[in-house]
Chain A
């Protein structure tokens, strides 16, 4: 599975959009981009995934560049409860494919 690179941390103001970047320059054609988040002392939670088209659900939007070498997770209106570690993961589609969690990016939402 391709490796991802994320900045270690960022912050944003409550109510503003949080844009979390991720680089995955070695992603291959059949690999998807996944985002999970982990709130302190809990297990990770699935947020969204995509292949090449932009995706949106009730939690977030995922913007993938045309060359698929990077992506951005957007939380449109961040709240204090969005403070967490966010993991960007690239994974294939085989039955034995696994999700490899890196260090993620710590998002701090300030009042």
Chain B
């Protein structure tokens, strides 16, 4: 069976510090991978998605970047965090079976920038 891991679960970082969030998927190959952010009290915002190694599409210009160094690894990074980067970060992978675009989400990382 497939599983998705995210770490850390919670993180408190000062403004201006770097960020690295990691997501790995097990039990599937060549998945589509996604990074979402959910600010407090708001909906999910798609940040990046990837259809393969080294292929990253950015949805929103921002202070963040993403990389996919391996098939089942997706990393979200920032060189200098801003207060507005606080939020709940979710990684997801998707299976494409005919019409179905079912996404499976990880447990998330709650980031607080102070």
The reply to whether B90 and A104 contact each other, CB–CB distance below 8 Å, is no
Chain A contact residues, majority secondary structure: loop
**8 Å CB interface, B1-39 against A:** 34, 36
**8 Å CB interface, A4-39 against B:** 32, 34, 36, 38
Q: Mark B44-76, 1 if CB is under 8 A from A, else 0.
A: 111001010000010100000000000000000
The reply to whether B99 and A46 contact each other, CB–CB distance below 8 Å, is no
Count of inter-chain pairs, beta carbons less than 8 A: 57
A107 CB to closest chain B CB, in angstroms?
15
- Residues on B with C-beta less than 8 A from A36 are 103
The reply to whether A91 and B101 contact each other, CB–CB distance below 8 Å, is yes
Interface size range of chain A in the complex: 20 to 34
Closest A residue to B105 by beta carbon equals A43
Whether, in the assembled complex, A76 has its beta carbon less than 8 Å from a beta carbon of chain B, the answer is no
- Residues on B with C-beta less than 8 A from A46 are 102-104
Cα(A98)–Cα(B45), bound, Å = 12
- Count chain B residues whose beta carbon lies closer than 8 angstroms to a beta carbon of A: 26
The reply to whether A101 and B101 contact each other, CB–CB distance below 8 Å, is no
Closest B residue to A92 by beta carbon equals B101
Cα(A43)–Cα(B23), bound, Å = 14
Choose among B42, B49, B92, B105 the residue with the greatest number of A CB atoms under 10 Å from its CB: B105
Known contacts A44-B103, A49-B99, A104-B43; A96/B51 CB under 8 A:
yes
Closest A residue to B101 by beta carbon equals A91
Q: Mark A29-72, 1 if CB is under 8 A from B, else 0.
A: 00010101010011111100101000000000000000000000
Candidates A38, A41, A98, A104; contact of B49 at CB < 8 Å: A98
- List 19 other contacts, CB 8 Å, given A34-B101, A95-B51: A36-B103, A38-B44, A42-B105, A43-B92, A43-B107, A43-B108, A45-B105, A46-B102, A49-B101, A51-B99, A93-B99, A93-B101, A95-B96, A96-B57, A98-B59, A99-B103, A100-B46, A101-B36, A101-B46
Q: Please name 6 pairs of A and B residues whose Cβ atoms are closer than 8 Å in the assembled complex, sorted by A.
A: A44-B103, A44-B105, A49-B100, A98-B34, A100-B46, A103-B42
Q: Which 5 A-B pairs have the closest CB atoms?
A: A43-B105, A101-B44, A103-B43, A46-B102, A43-B90
